[in-house]
Amino acid sequence: MSAPVWRTLAPGATVAVVAPAGPALPERVAAVPALLQAQGWQARLYPGCHTRQGFLAGPDALRVADLMDAFADPQVDAVWCLRGGYGSGRLLPAIDVDRLARHPKLLIGYSDITALHLLLDRLGWPALHAPMPASDLLLPGREADAQALFTLLRDGLRAGDRLAPPLLPDAWCLPGVASGRLLGGNLSLLAALCGTRWQPQAQGALLFIEEVGEPAYRIDRCLLQLRLAGVLDAAAGFVLGSFTEGEAAAENEAVLRDHLGSLGKPVLAGWPSGHGTPHQPLPLGVQARLDAGAGHLTLLQDMLRPA
């Protein structure tokens, strides 16, 4: 079965904003509608955006209800996660997958939202690994990141499009070419879900990995888990995003080269997606060709067509 192709957001489109993970500051929540209205879209904020229960944006039952209701609402054109933090993985057993599958929509988010991306990947749905309002776009200096996301949502992503953003200063590569489905997200989440029903299905995929705030030994431990679970061996190639607020870039590179360098597969590091800035949106769940030496990805199928 072919993957669905989403429609771009036309003027007047409704974007559901949900909080499946951590809580956001009230002043950032209050600023979300204006952020979307400036693009000609309408925001529909769900109850969990205004709730807090410790480190979670409300109890699990509320957060999963928000998520399901957002997807089921026929007036909603896309679902945007308010922020990451922690908690999306707690929802996985409670999500009614059969009901969800009847209401396909584009999901936008990253970080802890990786847990939801892996679930949608099993449904064959493309998604966007992209900035979120409360953790990114409402902060100073993120105007370029916001523009990149909003332009993509307005203009679309088609087969043949080449993604070749300027790479991060610590970029490096193991040259080679590989094609496969783009899959992945936050390293800690990818590792934590190994051995579960939601383990990354990486056979023949281009595995994208990013991380924040983890020292080199923890990055090593997560990569070891992926390797022992067969995820690294299964992948066709690797795209590495930002690794921020942890060890020096040279230490992270040494760990990544140690685990990936012996696999004989292309690796492109320094892709500007993740917890730092610049943070370019990256499509997931679509077929692409990686040319690590040239530093670019080429889409092999449509993802976002004009509305």
In 70-88, which positions are buried (b, 16+ CB within 10 angstroms) versus exposed (e)? Answer: bbebeebbbbbbbbbbebb
Do strands 14-18 and 78-81 pair parallel, antiparallel, or not at all (unpaired)?
Answer: parallel
Q: Is the dihedral of CA 17, 23, 29, 32 positive or negative?
A: negative
Annotated catalytic residue 273: no
How does DSSP assign 109-133, residue by residue? E-GGGHHHHHHHHHTT--EEE---I
Per the rule left: phi > 0, alpha: psi between -120 and 50, beta: everything else, 268 is beta
d(CA 1, CA 63): 30
Annotated catalytic residue 2: no
Annotated catalytic residue 210: yes
Point out the catalytic residue in the list 88, 117, 188, 210.
210
Torsion of CA 189, 194, 196, 202, to 10 degrees: 100
Tokens of 256: 């990544």
d(CA 77, CA 71): 9
Do strands 78-81 and 106-109 pair parallel, antiparallel, or not at all (unpaired)?
Answer: parallel
H-state helical runs in 73-202: 88-91, 97-101, 114-122, 143-155, 187-192
Point out the catalytic residue in the list 117, 129, 275, 279.
275
Tokens of 30: 């209050």
Residues tagged active-site: 111, 210, 275
